[in-house]
Structure 1
C-alpha cells in the first residue's frame, strides 16, 4: 500500500504527542495499554466498548511483513467499571497492514472500518461496514458514496460515523498529493447509497490550515475536530462547534477546548460516549508504552447537549424468543427518518441514542413479521437518561392481533391527529406488501364513562382509521372496522397505567 494512503493515524507519528498532566488524565492501565503504541480510541455510545489501534505489536497478524502494522483491538468495561484485558479483533476486520475502526454502534452490533471492500476484498480508499453475526463479524462491505473516489485525493483521510446510522463525516483533501484537509458530510439515501460528500463550509474549514479527525456527538449537533488554525495552544488542537440548522453549512464559531485537552503539541482523535462525562484521547507522557490511551473528565462547557439512550430486546411476540431485526426510528408528527440500528443476532439486544427536543416513534422490522411501534416523547430536555423499551414482532398469520401504537386522537374525539399518519402509512405498506391480506381494525376504551358512549367512540375511531387506509388506495373489501368499548381489556382498569393500555387501536389478520 502506498505511503500516501497509509492510515490517517500515521500523521501522529510526524509529531510528538504531548500528554495532559497526569493528575488530569487518567491512564486506562495495563489491561488496555502496552509497551507499544495504542492509537485512535473509539468509544461506543453506552461507554462499554472501546476500540483502538495497536501499532507495532508482534501479536499483530501482519507484524512479520510490516513491523509498524496497525491493527484493531478492543476492551470491554466490566461490571466494576474497569476495562478488561484488550482483545485482538479478528482478521475479518484486520485485513490490511494499516487498519482502523472509525465507529462502533451504541450496542456493538455494527462497526465501520477503514478501506473500501467488496466481497471481503480490499479495493481502495473508502469505508466499509461490518455487522455482528452469531459467528463474529461479517465480511466488510463498502459504503457506496457518490463520487468519493474522485474527491479523496490527498495523502491522508479518515471518517467518523454518527450514532443515527445515516450520517457520516469525512476528512480528506481534493488535491492530488495534498497533506491538507477539510471536513465533509454525507447522508444515507432511501436506496441505501450515500450522497456526495459536502464540504461543511468556511466556519469549519479554512483555506490555509488543516481540519481533520471530526467527531459528531450523540446530540447530532456538537462537532469536535482537530485543526492547526490560529488561536490554539500548539500544533493541532481540539475545537468544538455547534450545528445551527439542517443545512450543515451554518455552524457556531469554533471554540478551542484549551488545557488540559489541548497541549503545545499535536492533539487529535477525540471520542466521547453518550453520557459525555469523559473524553478518550492519546498521550505520550507518563505512559506504559510509546503512546497510551487516557480519559479526561469534561467540563460542562465542553459537553454536548444531553441525550437519552434507549435499550432493550427485540422479541418474537408469539414464542418470546429474541430476534435479529433492523430498527428504524422517526420523528413525529412529520415522520422524518431519524436513524436506524440492528438488534443482536445472538440475544436480540439493541441500543439507540435519541436527542431531546422531539417526539419519536421506533420499531423493529424483520421478514415475515409485523411490527408494533413504540413511542417516546422527548420534547422536554432533561439530563442524560437510559430507558428500557423492549420491541415485539408478530408472525404474519391468520388470527394474529397487533396493537397499532402512535395513533392519536383528541380527548373524546374520533378525528385522527396528523402525528398518526406515519404509523398508519406503515399499515398501508403492510397491506400493499400482502395484497390478499384482510384485516379487522378494532377500537377499544377503558371503563371510564358510559358504556354506550365508549362503544360509539371506539367504533368511530376504528372507522376513522379504516377511512384513512381506504384513502391510500386500500380496497374497502379488505378492511372492516368495529368498536368494542371496554369489553376486551388487556390490563386492569383499576389504575391509570392499566387504563392507558386498554385505550388502544388494533388490527387482526382475518385472511393472509
Structure 2
C-alpha cells in the first residue's frame, strides 16, 4: 500500500511538471528527407543516435497495405539525411519485416509477418546484427505460447524496453476484431520469454475501434507511452502516458492525454524517446507533407520522465590491451530488482548501456577466462542527462583463480597411443602448465582422473585408465613435484560425458581431468 501511494504521489508530481513543459516545446516535421506523400510510421532510433528506422505504408489495389522498411542517417546536429530503403534479412516479397527496437549492444529486433505462413514458420520476432555489408543470421526470439497468443490476428507489434528484459506486445483481438490490447512479457532466461500477460486497469480501456497500441517504455522503466482512440481524445487517435505502480508490471496509473501540442484532431501514434533523451518522436496526420508524417520535439531536462545515464566503454585484456568479448551488468544496490545488461563485442569497439539516474549500482564485468571486475557506481546525484565512459581491463585467470571451490577440470591436449599409457610429446606443454601451477602454489594438491570410451571390456578400460592416470602423475613427479601432493585414479568407461555411439562422443570421453584441492 505504501509503495502504491508513493508511486501515485510521484505520478501527480510528474504530470504537473511534464505536461506544462511539454507544451512549451516546438514540434517540427522531419521534412522531405524522411516524409513523403504516403504514411511514415513506427520511428525507432538506434542506440548510438545515428540512425532513424521507420516504415512507409501505402495501399495497393488487390494487395492491401504494403509496408517497406527505410532508414535515415542522422548527423551530429540531429539533421536527418535522405532516407534509403532498408535491405532486411528476410528477402521474400510476401513478407512484411520491420525494425521494432535496437538493443544496447546494437542488436536489431525485427518483426516478421507473412500472411501465407503459419506462426511456426517465419512469423515472429528475431534478433540480428546489421553490418555495413548486410545482416547476420536472424535468431528467433522465443516467447512462451506465442503462436496461441497471437492466434489468427495479422495486426500486432512490439517494443523492447531499454533494459532488454521487458517486452511489450500489442495485438488485435482477432483478424475480424481490430481492437488492440497491450501485454507484457519477461525474459526468463537467455533463450525464453514468459507468456504475455495483459496490462490491467485503464491502459486497456474498452473504448474505441483501434483500442490501445504502439507502447513505448521510457528509459526510467516507469513511464509508459501508448496510442489510443478511446473516448475523450482530440482526434481519431491520441498519445497517452501512465506510470507503473509496482514491480508486477501489470498495474498502471490512469493514463493522461499528452495534450494539444502533441495531439490534434487527426491521428497520432508511435511515441518514441531518443536513447540520449534529447528528442521525442511521434507520428501525426496533422500539418503533414502527405499522409501521416514523423515529427519530433526537443526535450528539456525538467520534463524528462527521469534522468538517464548513458554508459559507454570498452573491455580489454590487462596484459596486452587486446579487446575481449564481455558482459556488463548494472544492478540496483538498494532493491536489487532492477538489472541492466550489455554485451561488448570487440569488432564494435564500444559497449553502450542506459540506466536511470538517482541510484547506486553494483557494476560487474565478466569474460570467460578472466577475473570478474566488480565495483559500485554512485549516480544518486545525477539529476539530468549524463554520459559516462568506463574502459575496463580484465586480468586473465590462472588455473587456481578459475576454481573457486574444488571442481573437476578437463585437461585439453593430453594424448596417448591407442591402447597404451605412454604420453605423447605433444602433451608436454599442457602438462607443463600443471607443473608451473604446482610450483607457484605450494599449498595445493591435485587429484588426477583418467577416462576411456566404451570400446573394449570394462576391466580392460579400467586398467588402461588407471595406467594413464599414473603416467600423468609420473610426469609431474619427474619434473620436481612431490608425489605426496598427487593422487591418480582411473575410472575406465564408467563416467562418460558424451554419447559413445559417435566418434565425436567417444573422443570427448577419452579424457584426463584434475581436481585442485586447496
> What is the TM-score when the length of structure 2 is the normalising length?
0.65
Match of 2:82 in 1: 85
**Structure 1: runs of 5+ lacking an equivalent:** 1-20, 58-62, 401-426, 441-476, 478-509
State the 1:271 CA deviation.
0.7
CA distance in 2, matches of 1:220, 1:24: 26
Say which of 79, 100, 103 aligns to 1:102: 100
What does 1:47-446 correspond to in 2, within 5 Å?
47-55=49-57, 69-92=66-89, 95=92, 96-106=94-104, 109-115=106-112, 123-132=121-130, 136-153=134-151, 154-175=153-174, 177-209=176-208, 210-284=211-285, 286-298=287-299, 303-332=304-333, 336=337, 338-397=339-398
**Structure 2: runs of 5+ lacking an equivalent:** 1-22, 412-433, 442-484, 486-515
State the 1:43 CA deviation.
1.9
CA distance in 2, matches of 1:382, 1:392: 29
Match of 2:423 in 1: none
The 1:250/1:130 distance shift into structure 2, 3 A limit, reads: same
The 1:353/1:185 distance shift into structure 2, 3 A limit, reads: same
1:149 match: secondary structure: helix
State the 1:83 CA deviation.
2.3
State the 1:267 CA deviation.
1.1
Does the 8 A contact of 2:223 with 2:243 survive in 1?
Answer: yes
Match of 1:496 in 2: none
How many residues end up aligned between the 2 structures? 387
Does the 8 A contact of 2:155 with 2:175 survive in 1?
Answer: no
Does the 8 A contact of 1:398 with 1:511 survive in 2?
Answer: no
Q: CA RMSD in A?
A: 3.7
1:151 match: secondary structure: helix
State the 1:228 CA deviation.
1.4
CA distance in 2, matches of 1:310, 1:122: 38
The 1:205/1:136 distance shift into structure 2, 3 A limit, reads: same
1:129 match: secondary structure: strand
CA distance in 1, matches of 2:91, 2:341: 26
Q: Which runs of 4+ in 1 moved over 6 A?
A: 427-431, 435-440
State the 1:287 CA deviation.
4.3
The 1:122/1:170 distance shift into structure 2, 3 A limit, reads: same
The 1:47/1:363 distance shift into structure 2, 3 A limit, reads: same
2:249 match: secondary structure: coil
1:183 match: secondary structure: strand
The 1:67/1:233 distance shift into structure 2, 3 A limit, reads: closer
State the 1:357 CA deviation.
4.0
State the 1:345 CA deviation.
4.5
Match of 1:4 in 2: none
CA distance in 2, matches of 1:150, 1:253: 29
Match of 1:38 in 2: 40
CA distance in 2, matches of 1:284, 1:432: 64
CA distance in 2, matches of 1:248, 1:361: 23
State the 1:156 CA deviation.
1.6
1:270 match: secondary structure: strand
State the 1:391 CA deviation.
2.9
State the 1:284 CA deviation.
4.2
1:204 match: secondary structure: helix
Q: Which has the greater radius of gyration?
A: 2
Deviation readout 1:57-114 (Å, 9 max, x if unpaired)? 9xxxxx9x9795422222232233322333333331565542221111245x111111
The 1:134/1:339 distance shift into structure 2, 3 A limit, reads: farther
CA distance in 2, matches of 1:282, 1:343: 33
CA distance in 2, matches of 1:71, 1:433: 54
Deviation readout 1:355-414 (Å, 9 max, x if unpaired)? 1343222344444344323432223451111111123344344699xxxxxxxxxxxxxx
State the 1:170 CA deviation.
0.5
The 1:368/1:195 distance shift into structure 2, 3 A limit, reads: same
State the 1:30 CA deviation.
3.5
Say which of 17, 28, 45 aligns to 1:26: 28
State the 1:298 CA deviation.
4.7
Does the 8 A contact of 1:51 with 1:104 survive in 2?
Answer: no
1:123 match: secondary structure: coil
Does the 8 A contact of 1:125 with 1:149 survive in 2?
Answer: no
Does the 8 A contact of 2:207 with 2:229 survive in 1?
Answer: no
Does the 8 A contact of 2:245 with 2:252 survive in 1?
Answer: yes
State the 1:352 CA deviation.
0.7
